Structure 1
Amino acid sequence: EFKGKLKLVKPLDPRTNDEILDTLRSYSPVTSEKNIWAFWNSGIDHIPPWCKRNIADWVRICGPE
């Protein structure tokens, strides 16, 4: 039903998943109201792979700033 309505959208952030996750390993101050909040009690390196992909995709959707 919706297949014909889909369109390809270029991501706002072209970095790889690993590059995005590397930036999340270090502190960066909040500079706007546009934020992605996530919590994993044992650290980003212990998040399941599907969660890491989800986080990276949200960063891409929202853009690098």
Structure 2
Amino acid sequence: MGRALSGDLRSRVLKASDEGMSARQAAARFGVGVSSAIRWIARAKIGELAPRPQGRRRAS
């Protein structure tokens, strides 16, 4: 599993995207994966800004 990235980093990538930077450019600038940047931007467009919980669901 990958490392957890800060909410501040996520918001900086989203701000750069809002200012016209592509997801690939924003990912390279802030040192995150292209897939992560694309996913964050897509989720922000539908209103989901909070990160999803990591790990598996607890067994009953």
Tell me the TM-score range normalised by the shorter chain.
Answer: 0.3 to 0.5
Indicate the structure whose relative CO is greater, using CA pairs within 8 Å and at least 6 residues apart.
Answer: 1
Q: Which has the higher helix share?
A: 2
TM-score (norm 1): 0.31
